[in-house]
Amino acid sequence: MSDIDLTRRSFLKTSAGAAAVAIAPGMMLFQVAHGDTQGASDKVRWGMLIDTTQCKDGCNDCVSACNKENGLSGETKATDSQWIRKIEIKDVSNGRELSLPMMCQHCEHPPCVDVCPTNASMKRADGIVLVDKHRCIGCRYCMMACPYKARSFVHEPLTDQNPDVPRGKGTVEACTLCVHRIDQGLKPACSEACANKAILFGDLNDADSEIAKKLRSVATTQVRADLGLNTGIRYQGL
């Protein structure tokens, strides 16, 4: 009897060891790939301050960087996705002209999140508004609700995607504030690409951050502030 027990014990030991050897590299690779898997913190609110006086008319560097980073085609047909776009605006009353980038404004009270039937549109604890590509059913109600026309619908099959930025035909997408870069401690691609440093990225909640200091010292505007959405993207010189 004891012989049988020993055999069984050693079998279990060997099995457990084999399982550990099989799983461990996967776990380690997961760690390497994803780094710290801690969730986003609600102590942080990521945002941007865009200095329109520094944004050059005709310069498209932020748009190109976004397209490259997120694997967008860069085409501008009505059915193509544009996560960030340059808008030229002219004040009707005095003729003053400005050029500025427009993208998801990462609202504190995002209308897209309110209207999404399946909770696919969501706001992360750190204020980044995202679309869960596995939950989006492609109803486009969020596109109807967004006051900034910041969202695009994927009209065609996609190829050559960036593994860090999942996208899918038949779902809605928008600027993610380069969440995959932020989680690695990097700045969003548009902010990094701007030669004139017109796009300042940082934590709005951290009083010592450069963006918070700037927000205290210069006059800034939220686009369509009348809607009371408290956007994470602010504009200077508008």
Partner 1 sequence: MSSHPPMYFKNHLYWVLLAAGGAVALAGLYAVHMMEHYGHIISGMNNQIVWGIPHVFAIFLIVAASGVLNVASIGSVFGKAVYKARAPLASLLSIAMLAGGLTVLMLDLGRPDRIMVAATNYNLTSVFAWNVVLYSGMFSLVIVYLWTMMERRMNPFNKAAGLAVFVWRFVLTTGTGLIFAFLTARQAYGSALLPPMFIVLSFAWGLAVFHVVQTVIYNWNEKILDPAILNRKKNLLGVFVLGSLYMVATYHFTNMYFAHQQSFELFILRDGGVYTNLFWWGYVLLGNVLPLALIFMPGMGKTRCVMTASLLVVLGAFALLYVFIIGGQAFPLSIFPGYEVSSSFGDGQIAAYTPSLYEFLLGFGGLAIAFVITTVSVRVLNFMPQDKPYIAD
Residue ranges binding partner 1 (CB under 8 A): 76-82, 85-93, 102, 111, 113-120, 135-141, 143-149, 151-157, 168-172, 223-224, 227
- Residue nearer to partner 1 on the CB measure, 171 or 176: 171
- Taking the complex as a whole, the smallest distance from the CB of residue 223 to partner 1 amounts, in Å, to 6
- DSSP characters over 2-37: HHHHHHHHHHHHHHHHHHHHHHHHHHHHHHHHH---
Asked if residue 232 lies in contact with residue 225, where contact means CB atoms within 8 angstroms, the answer is no
Q: What is the dihedral of CA 71, 42, 225, 182, to 10 degrees?
A: -20
- Residue nearer to partner 1 on the CB measure, 107 or 212: 107
Q: Tell me how far apart the terminal alpha carbons of the chain are, to the nearest angstrom.
A: 86
- Taking the complex as a whole, the smallest distance from the CB of residue 61 to partner 1 amounts, in Å, to 15
- Residue nearer to partner 1 on the CB measure, 16 or 137: 137
- Taking the complex as a whole, the smallest distance from the CB of residue 129 to partner 1 amounts, in Å, to 14
Beta carbons within 8 Å of 9's beta carbon, 6+ residues apart: none
- Residue nearer to partner 1 on the CB measure, 212 or 223: 223
Beta carbons within 8 Å of 96's beta carbon, 6+ residues apart: 90
Q: Rounded distance, CA 213 to CA 193, Å?
A: 22
- Residue nearer to partner 1 on the CB measure, 181 or 234: 234
Q: What distance lies between CA 194 and its chain's CA centroid?
A: 17
The number of residues in the chain equals 238
- Taking the complex as a whole, the smallest distance from the CB of residue 181 to partner 1 amounts, in Å, to 23
Asked if residue 66 lies in contact with residue 85, where contact means CB atoms within 8 angstroms, the answer is no
Q: Which helix (H) or strand (E) holds 173?
A: strand 172-173
- Taking the complex as a whole, the smallest distance from the CB of residue 112 to partner 1 amounts, in Å, to 10
- Residue nearer to partner 1 on the CB measure, 91 or 210: 91
- Taking the complex as a whole, the smallest distance from the CB of residue 11 to partner 1 amounts, in Å, to 42
